[in-house]
Every structure is written in C-alpha cells, then in structure tokens.
Amino acid sequence: MNLCLSRGIYTSQTSQLPESRVNIARIFAPVAILLAAALLAGCATSQPAPLTVRELAEAQTFPFYRVYWAGPRFGSYSLVAADGRQNYSSAVGDSVYYGNCLPGKTSALNGGGCELPLRVTTLIYTRQANASLGAQRNTILRGVPAVIYDGGNTVELYSGRVAIEVFSDDLSEALHAIRELRPINAPGSAGGRLPPPVYCPGLSGPRPAAVRAALLDLPGHACQQVAATLKIDRALFGKG
C-alpha cells in the first residue's frame, strides 16, 4: 500500500504482507490520514526529504510504549519519516521509514510514488497464530523469538509487550537493521539482547531447540500458562 506525503511519496510496503495477516484497520487507517495530507500538499513526486527536528521530536516523545528504530541513519539511508502520537492507531502501530525511492517500483495509488527500502514498525502484540503467514522460519534474533516470512521480506521480533516488524526487500539488510535496533523514545543502545516478550508468541511450524528453550523461559512462564489454559479448555469444552 503506497502512501503519499507532503515531503515526498513513499510506500509502507503493507501490500507485501499476506492478505490474511493484514486487517482492514491496518490498511485503511494510515491511508485515510496520509491521503488527506497528500491532497493538501499536492503529492510531489520528489525523493523524500530527511526528517525535520519537529517530526523527530514527535516520535521521540511517543508515550505509550517503546518504539524501535535503527538510528538517525542506517547505512546510506536517511531517516525520512516517523510516526508519533498524532493520529496514532493501536491497530497500525508506530513506524519509522528509511531511504530513497527504489527505482522501478511505482505507487499502487497511481500517484507517481515509489517504495522505500526499509520500514520498522512497533505495535502492541495481539496473540494470533502465525500459520496464516505462509512459508516461515522461526529463529532467535537479539535474544528473543522471531519469525522470518514473506519470502524473507518481513521479519517479526517479539519483545516486551510489542512486536517489532522489519520490512525490507533484502533479508541481509533487514537482519543488519535488526542488529541496530534500539528505542527511539527511551534509553537504550544497539546490540545486546532485547527484553523478552511477556506473552507467548503464536509461532507456527518447526521450532529449533533455541526457540523452544526461549519460549520455556519467558517471564511468568507465559507459554506454559497458555498451554495449561488450552488443556483446560479441551477438557471442559472439547476445544482449543
């Protein structure tokens, strides 16, 4: 789903996600907001400009939870857009966007836009089974459970109360960005282990030994609690 902003047109890459993964709120909430801004600004087709100090401050003061980024620059990419509290939707989360328009990739909204090479989205985790993601690989990244899917274009990490989604058309680039992740609105540095999730991620498919060990060691024994609840549901109601 391509988004057109007053400072330049870019794509959030939502269209790359499996259809079953993307609900209506996550598609249309940001589009409605950004299209309104685009109509006012005229939707220029130039490359996006670097983020202004005011726009960066909006992300740095986001109050609801930790939002992750890969720093003010990532390799040769500038930070060109960042969400904040204004127009925040819990269904969509908060995102940061990097880079210039990729050649040959145009706007699905026919606005002459283009696609940016890297996006990092942080949102409150809502439990759901990952089976709908299609082919996927469960792994450990930055010390927490993670899943790689969408042909390697999307990596989702599970940490604290949130899920951190890294979208790129290059898996090696996405993994590099993950090594640089740190909070934009809280103290923290790149590298090291991320906080473990306080919930049990709805992983699907094979789980390597390291993943199984991490799930058994989550705070509050989150996965054991989910398993016990499902066992009770099956015994009482024949479901789960």
Three-class SS of residue 28?
Answer: helix
CA of 181: how far to CAs of 31, 52, 166, in Å?
26, 21, 10
Mark 41-54 as b/e (b = at least 16 C-beta within 10 Å): eebbeebbeebeee
Q: How confident is the model at residue 223 (pLDDT cuts 50, 70, 90)?
A: very high
Q: What percent of the chain has pLDDT over 90?
A: 59
Least confidently predicted of 39-43, 138-142, 154-158, 189-193? 39-43
Q: What is the pLDDT of residue 87?
A: 85
Would you say 224 and 214 are in contact if contact means Cβ atoms under 8 Å apart? no
75-122 tens-digit pLDDT:
999 999 999 998 899 999 999 999 987 665 543 323 445 678 999 999
Distance (Å, whole) CA 11 – CA 48: 11
User: What is the widest separation between alpha-carbon atoms in the chain?
Assistant: 61
In angstroms, how far is the first alpha carbon of the chain from the final one?
35
135-175 tens-digit pLDDT:
999 999 999 999 999 999 999 999 999 999 999 989 999 99
pTM of structure: 0.76
